[in-house]
Amino acid sequence: MSVSVLAREVKTLLESHFDFVWVEGEISNLARPASGHWYFSLKDDNAQVRCAMFRRANQRLRFTPENGDAVRLRARVSLYEARGDFQLIVEFLEPAGAGALQARFEALRAKLEAEGLFAAERKRPLPTAPAHLGIITSATGAALHDMLTVLRRRCPLIRVSVLPVPVQGVEAAPAVCAAIARANRWHESGAIPFDALIVGRGGGSLEDLWAFNEESVARAIAGSALPVVSAVGHETDITIADLVADQRAPTPSAAAELLSPDQADWRLRLAQLDEALTRSAARRLRDAGRELAHLRARLKHPGTLLRERAQRLDDLEGRLARAQAVAFQRERRRLDRLTDRLLRRDPRPRLARLGDRLDGAERRLRQAMQHGLARRQD
């Protein structure tokens, strides 16, 4: 059996006998060649083993390991045939103890989500043009420098108050909570009228960022009367503070951009508004001019209007006089007809005739009486 055959059979035996294994140890002899693959040794007090982590695997990591880091890794057991070296092909790597931290993270996440602290409807809107920002971060970290650089570039008129806190270790979470409470007190008292707060730090491992996964910090952010932007770590880092904040920024620089209107954008916007206002004013002036011309055409000179009104009054007076004359003639004819009818029905002629008849009868009666008396005397 040749050495190559032996090495191949040993490799086959190792890879078939072992499934993925979890191993903890300390990194040493870390090498990162231009190929993008990582090579290192994993050791403890009594032994060490060579490890290889190829580029496709290490690109998924959320932190960059260094020599001396205590880590926990998931790997396949294999053999490097060219040297006959037993080695681990690493698929996943995390800081030692990260598994327990991840379990705590998921438990707290589920608890706060059940309470509604992540709900979109409780998120406060961010100011569009803040005058004063509070930044809660380390006074010596690169994150603060990055945020101040962005704010000076984009909108130097924004005032900034830095509330320095440790962002790592056991003192970090209480300090962050105290700073949030202090900023709210200053705002409520009018001492410093903040428009919003940025809470954040630069990148790091899960352990480094753990202060922003503490329940106390989450509740301090949720209880803040001021809008809070969380800017913890890099884009791939998600913390409880990110989930409970009113807005999550992938990096501290992005948080500064989020809260600072760009002067160039504002100048462009003002120019656009000025142009739109000018066009609107010109259009309204043209419309008003056309309306005025239309009204002017309809509006006559007062003298002309008075003459027209006088002429119409004369015409109405003439029509009224003619109407009165016609009505008078019509009533006069009616009166004449009534008078004629009344005259035809006058009782005086009949009474005269009756009187004549009565006189005749009276004469005849006297004559008859006289004739009767005369006969009796004879």
Give one DSSP letter per residue of 217-242, joined into a string: HHHHHHT-SS-EEEEESSTT---HHH
Q: Does domain 101-261 fall into CATH 3.40.50.261?
A: yes
Which pLDDT band holds residue 244 (cuts at 50, 70, 90)?
very high
Supply the angle between the helices 172-189 and 215-222 in degrees, to the nearest 10: 10
Question: 368 pLDDT exceeds 60?
Answer: yes
Write out the two tokens for 152: 């000076």
Cβ contact 187:81 at 8 Å: no
Give the separation between CA 197 and CA 203, rounded to whole angstroms.
Answer: 19
pLDDT for residue 332: 84
Cβ contact 26:43 at 8 Å: yes
Does residue 272 come out as left (phi exceeding 0), alpha (psi in the -120 to 50 range) or beta? alpha
Pairing of strands 70-80, 21-31: antiparallel
Give the separation between CA 298 and CA 304, rounded to whole angstroms.
Answer: 13
Dump pLDDT digits (tens) for 100-129: 778 788 889 999 999 999 999 999 999 988
Dump pLDDT digits (tens) for 298-356: 665 666 667 777 788 878 888 888 888 888 888 888 888 887 777 777 677 777 788 78
Cβ contact 260:155 at 8 Å: yes
Provide CB contacts within 8 A for 235, sequence distance 6+: 250, 251
Which pLDDT band holds residue 378 (cuts at 50, 70, 90)?
low
Nearest by Cα to 253 from 139, 135, 369: 135
Q: Which CATH number fits domain 3-96: 3.40.80.10, 1.10.10.10, 3.90.1300.10, 2.40.50.140?
A: 2.40.50.140
In the chain, where does DSSP find H-type helix? 3-17, 55-58, 98-114, 142-154, 172-189, 215-222, 240-244, 252-259, 263-298, 302-344, 348-377
Span 14-42, average pLDDT: 87
Cβ contact 127:259 at 8 Å: yes
Question: 87 pLDDT exceeds 60?
Answer: yes
